[in-house]
Structure 1
Amino acid sequence: MGFEFRHRIAFKQARTVLLISLVLGLLSTSIQIFLDLRQEKISYLAGIERVIALYKKTAERAIYNLNYVKASEITATLISHPEISEATLVDDFGDPLSHDKQEISSPNTFFYKLGNYFFQFNTHYESILKIDNSQTGAAKLIIELDSTYITHNFALRAFIGLVFGLLYNVLLACVFLFFFYRYLSRPILDIVKWVDQLNTHNNLPLPYKGRDEIGDLVASFSKLWDERRQVTDRLNNTISKLSKSKNFSRTLMENAGDAMFLCAPDGTIIDLNHQAVETLKSDKEHILGSKLSVYSQNYSENDLVDLFLSIDEKHVCTFEDIQIDMHKKVFPIEARGIRIKQNDKDYILISARDISARKESEKQIFELAFFDTLTGLANRRLFTDRLSSVITHHQVHDIHGAVLYMDLDRFKTINDSLGHSIGDKLLCAVSQRLTAIAPVGTTCARFGGDEFVILLPEIGPTVVSSAEVAVHISKKIIDAIAAPFEIEGHTLYCTISIGIAVFPEKELSAIDILRHADIALYRTKAMGKNGFQFYDPEVQSSAQERLLIEKGLHKALDKGEFQLWFQPQVKSDGSVFGAEVLLRWMHPEKGVISPDDFIQIAEESGQIIEMGQWVLNESFNQLAQWRERGFPEGCRRLAINISPLQFMQVDFVGRVLKLLTDYQIPGELIELEITENMLLNNFDIASNKMRILKQRGISFAIDDFGTGYSSLKYLRYMPLDILKIDRSFVTNLRPSSEEAAIVEVIIATADRLGLAVVAEGVETVEERDTLIELGCHRFQGYLYSKPLPAAQFYELISETRLSV
């Protein structure tokens, strides 16, 4: 019990406070004694000087007159002072005139020894006396001090001061200890006793109810204890119920949809379920006892042992592998492993799922993101990325390359006269000739329509040498395309125009290089086509046009030149379910300007933020007016395009929520259309903003799906509602076309993720019927209506159906 008491906080606290008090008291008293010692020496010296000064004149007259009686009175008076033990008056001849001495005992006491040790001073004083007309020498007054008296008294006073100082500090420490014990130690002891009794008694009263930190601690602990007891009771009940079923674990494994393996830490398969047997195409007896690594392509036996060592009981470890069944067929899996204990032994429980379909979908979407679906060439995104990388490399190593921007001269005529099928095959034949001519290491891309681009990296150390190589390749391309094409019995002739931009130049970006090549291409066409031209900075009519548009945008909002047009979104039965808001620029000189001609410029110049806010305000205002007039019941959603730059503004969410409140519009009537690239570049920020707006009922659509970096990641984790198929997949869509296969994959992906699908750019009945056959039942396009001003649109949707 004594051992336990020494470890209690109260004992440690009392011991610490007492020690600190004693040390501090001793230190402070010692300092005071030291200061008193110095002052005492000064005081005694000053006192002796005063006594000598008091009798000095009298002593000088007594010596001058040789008055022995007066001299004796002076020495007798001096030794009457208790601190003076002996006084002698010596005349100017050196003879003692008077001498007196008091009897002094030298007590060998403690205080005398202590004082004599610390209080050391001079006990012999001589004072020179001036005798008038003396020719012999100097008279003196000699005093001897009583060191016994002085040191004894000083040591006694110092000792008494030290004792009282220590007693004062001890008393103060006891007072502190009383209050510490009263308000801290005793409540803690009561709490300890209360905690010890909690395991055996229920509903004990709280040991401390003060409204302070200890009271808060007791209340919090009591609450946590009650919660723990409730959880423990529920867990015990659950365990009791589970223990009644001996086959629970086996039933759980056998009914799992994934293949499950129970393995020893060395990878030996101890048990597995029926799905695992089916996956490995073998019998259970043959699999049991074998190593899991036998059925893995990526992990050896040692790799699996290392992996299993890293798995603990609290966290699930997820990894991908290529599994091999007994017939040597391989397929990708996603495995999840966790460590479990049975009968004090460690095991690893692995669940494996075949992800072949997911991998195939990701592959297809990857190809959609980076490659042209018709020709198999790189698309704009992939080409731009490679060009950016090459430019950075060239700027560091001072190497030059070139971009050839090409356009078929007679393609539109062939496509319109012979049909899209012949046109598509011609484009494929052109891409084959281009790849055959392009040197190794180059990148050929199709940007859409009949536009092709070739990246020629590292073709020369100087601009001149690079230009010569670009000319040589361009001539070969022109000659190759000029040769006739035999396609489905048709002999086709076409030529090609080429614009050339050599890089790097003044640290230009990939977009700048492409724009230069495009400018050179249009110059080629203006000069008669079927040739090539290099970029000339002084010939930039299109660049000047862009500058005019950019300047015009600054004034368009102030002058009220923007209008909102609306295009209906229609179901397969012809009923209108929503509309997309489209921006039109009513230029005073050029008439109606399509967004395709100015949106990109607005994005690059930053004006899209102000324009986007105007579109939001006008859209909400128009919707509020229609609701007041009586909005058709079936038309339940207004889709508004949001630019990435506008969406990533800090106050975007607050602006939208304010508009909902100001115009009293339910969020369910608003759909915001965003792009794929915005999600990929700002995944976390975009996700948080979308979830906030979703709470108000606003829905989200992915616009132009398939034209950017399509990724299943954001489709799965983003709060999306609608997926819009880009018009490039819809144009000339037929059941047997390659686009149909892509559209089918997109629709299937959306169905699995619970997303609605809307097809854009539907212009023909054949396209619509093919989409219906593939599973898409919502459309938008010229087949039903072109974009219309607000008044005409409202009149249109007032009809119950849109006929085709």
Structure 2
Amino acid sequence: MARTIVIPSSRERDAKLVLKMDKHYVASGLTSRAITLALTGLISTLLLSCILFIVFYFALSRPIQEVAKWVAHLDQDKKQQAVISPYSKADELGELVQSVEQIWHKKDLANRQIKTLAYYDTLTDLANRRMFIERLEEQLEFASQHSLVGAVMYLDIDRFKTINDSLGHQVGDQLLITFAQRLKGCLPDGAVTARFGGDEFVILLPAHYENEQSAATCVQNIARQVNQLVSAPVQIGRHLIHCTTSIGLTIFPQSKDTSSQILRRADTALYRTKAEGRNGFRFFDVSMQRLAQSRWQLEEGLHQAIHRGELELWFQPQVTKEGVMSGAEVLLRWRHPTRGLISPLDFISVAEESGQIAAIEEWVLDETMRLIKHWDSMGLPETFRHVSINISPSHFMQSGFVSQVEGALERHTVANVNVELEITENLLIENFEQAIKTMKALQAKGIAFSIDDFGTGYSSLRYLSQLPLNVLKIDRSFVAPIDHESDETPIIDVIMLMAKKLGLEVIAEGVETQAQRTLLTERGCRLYQGYFFSKPLHHEEFYTLLKQERVLLPT
């Protein structure tokens, strides 16, 4: 490489530096330098990468992997709650682990709550309808595959609606809880108990029986035990509640059985039990299907009976020992468009169970007072002093009952005839204090009260002495045996003596023979009601008889 250097003198203002470089030499130098720098940088980069990798692996990667494995294990076995956290240092990763743990526990709790809501009744902790049907379908398939037999029990608490309406929903809920506990305590291992809603409970006895006879025997014994356990009084707060249960039973599998068919059979048997007096159990048979269909048709027809004018008031005279009509009991009939005249024995229980009884009895109250006012304007005998109207416990205990009666009294002012409401003994047991409060409120408005079917329920002298009563009615079950010189006569003597001490009037129901009338008269009874004097009459026919002022004594 040649170099030319010009050195300026001190007198020159400018200078020049002229370099002539060898191209080959320069290129070679640059290349050598570049290679040196590249190798140095590569080694530095690799070394730094290794250091960073080691730091990342031991400081971050391994803890994160452990956390990931821990999270994966959380869902593998929900029964093992003690899953130990792999990282608990107080740094960002530790906070992450704690957050994951909290989220998982919330998720697990939510899943459990969802499962509980989906498969369990929140009030009683029993299985709900969904779980029961799943278990029933499993047992149905198992029974079919192994030629075994199972059973289903469908039950409810008799007159639960009355208890719930009169004592309040808190007492009703506590009664349901107690009922559920009693059920679980008397069932064999493997049985599934479910609450379908309200007071409806269903029990599944698994398909462990070799034949229908052994299954029927077992389920019958369990039903008896359930009836016995439930009948024991329940103390809830200051209320001592007596209740019974009705049970429907069915065996499975039958030909081409489904879960819905099994439940329908048991439900049908339940309503047969209720129709035959409650507090018992019945097995399903084919004839019950017709009964269930008939009941459903009655329930549907009742919804329109009032609006269509199909309900009618009938009256049965109440007479003195001289045969003079002093009053009457109001009776309800349903003139069905296809079935003709239907007795209340056939539809009142349907009205109670379907929640229609209050509307029907409100109509009876209003229509009775309207008729009495109309008859009073046309002229009534002076001896005719009262009419009695039956009131169901569930209606009587409703919060608006007093205002309903007051409204009817205001619309149809009746001056010369007393209105008497007939209540049952069971109502007094269910809510004694509320019954007294309601009775006193209505008594202040001129309403009188009688106990219907006295002697057949649970009432005691303490109840009778505190109630604002006017009349006791001797039940026909005590009157009918008089012709046969039965042991019922002392009961009549006790009722008459008790009524006398309490200052109450007595009416004997179901008087049909001269012998009955004679004995009742000898025991001091002065008022009677029954076919011996008159059958129930349509209100128009009754008023005609009333106007005649006839002595109602057979000759």
Query: Normalising TM by the smaller chain, what interval?
Result: 0.5 to 0.7
> Between the two proteins, what is the percent identity of the paired residues?
44
Amino acid corresponding to residue 572 of structure 1 in structure 2: K
C-alpha distance in 1 between matches for 2:460 and 2:416:
27
1:589 counterpart residue number: 338
Q: Secondary structure at the match of 2:521?
A: helix
Q: Against the structure 1 CA distance between its residues 463 and 614, is the aligned structure 2 distance closer, same or farther, given a 3 Å change threshold?
A: farther
1:550 and 1:744, CA in 2 relative to 1: closer, same or farther beyond 3 A? same
RMSD, aligned CA: 4.0
Could you tell me whether the CA contact under 8 Å between 1:565 and 1:788 is conserved in 2? yes
Deviation of 1:515 after TM superposition, in Å, equals 2.7
Give the structure 2 partner of residue 718 of structure 1. 467
Q: 1:653 to 1:747 in 2, by over 3 A?
A: same
| C-alpha contact (below 8 Å) 1:760/1:781 kept by paired residues | yes
Q: Could you tell me how far apart the structure 2 residues matched to 1:520 and 1:643 are?
A: 16
Per the TM alignment, residue 541 of structure 1 is displaced from its structure 2 partner at its CA by 1.1
**1:395-794 alignment to 2 at 5 Å?**
395=184, 398-399=187-188, 464=209, 468-469=213-214, 501=249, 515=270, 518=273, 534-535=283-284, 540-666=289-415, 669-734=418-483, 736-794=485-543
Q: CA deviation at 1:575?
A: 0.7
CA shift at 1:391, angstroms? 7.8
DSSP 3-state at the match of 1:592: strand
Aligned length: 330
Residue aligning to 2:553: 803
Counterpart mapping for 1:333-344 below 5 A: none
Change (3 A) 1:639 1:520: closer
Whichever residue aligns with residue 296 of structure 2, its letter is L
Residues 513 and 711 of structure 1: CA distance in aligned 2, closer, same or farther (over 3 Å)? farther
1:395 Cα offset (Å): 3.7
The letter of the residue matching 2:270 is: R
Q: Report the CA distance between 1:718 and its aligned residue.
A: 0.7
**Is the 1:586–1:593 Cα contact (8 Å) retained in structure 2?**
yes
CA contact (8 A) 2:320 2:528 kept: yes
Q: 1:536 to 1:753 in 2, by over 3 A?
A: same
Given that residues 400 and 463 in structure 1 are in contact (C-alpha distance below 8 angstroms), is that contact kept between their aligned partners in structure 2? no
Query: 2:269 touches 2:284 (CA, 8 Å); kept in 1?
Result: no
Q: Offset at 1:735?
A: 7.7
Q: 1:719 to 1:503 in 2, by over 3 A?
A: farther
Q: Can you list the C-alpha shifts for 1:367-401, whole angstroms capped at 9, x where unaligned?
A: xxxxxxxxxxxxx99xxxxxx99985444564299
Residue 516 to residue 586, structure 1, CA distance change in 2 (3 Å) = closer
**CA distance in 2 between partners of 1:466 and 1:772 (Å):** 59
Summarize deviations over 1:709-744 as a string: whole Å, max 9, x none. 222222110100101111111113248311112122
In 2 relative to 1, CA 400–571 (structure 1 residues): closer, same or farther, beyond 3 Å? farther
Query: After alignment, is 741-750 or 783-792 more displaced?
Result: 741-750
Distance 1:577 1:699 in 2: 15
CA shift, 1:769, in A, is: 1.2
Asked if the contact 2:422–2:452 (Cα under 8 Å) also holds between the matched residues in 1, the reply is yes
Check 1:560–1:737 CA distance in 2 against 1; reply closer, same or farther (3 A cut): same
Change (3 A) 1:548 1:750: same
d(CA) in 2 for partners of 1:777, 1:474? 50
Q: Which runs of 5+ in 1 are unaligned?
A: 1-379, 382-387, 402-457, 476-498, 522-532
Q: Secondary structure at the match of 1:570?
A: strand
C-alpha contact (below 8 Å) 1:400/1:503 kept by paired residues: no
| Structure with larger Rg | 1
Cα distance, 1:649 vs structure 2: 1.9
Partner AA of 1:702 in structure 2: I
Judge conservation of contact 1:762–1:779 (CA < 8 Å) in 2. Answer: yes
What displacement does 1:763 show? Answer: 1.0
Aligned equivalent of 1:342: none
Q: Which runs of 5+ in 2 are unaligned?
A: 1-157, 160-176, 191-202, 221-246, 253-258, 277-281
Q: TM-score, normalised by structure 1?
A: 0.37
Which secondary structure state, in structure 2, belongs to the residue aligned with residue 674 of structure 1? strand
Higher relative contact order (CA 8 A, sep 6+): 2
Letter in 2 for 1:602: A
What is the alpha-carbon distance in structure 2 between the residues aligned to residue 658 and residue 500 of structure 1? 42
Give 1:465 deviation, angstroms: 6.6
Amino acid at match of 1:612: E
Match of 1:304 in 2: none
For the Cα contact (< 8 Å) 1:568–1:576, is it kept in 2? yes
CA distance 1:400–1:754, shift in 2 (3 Å): farther
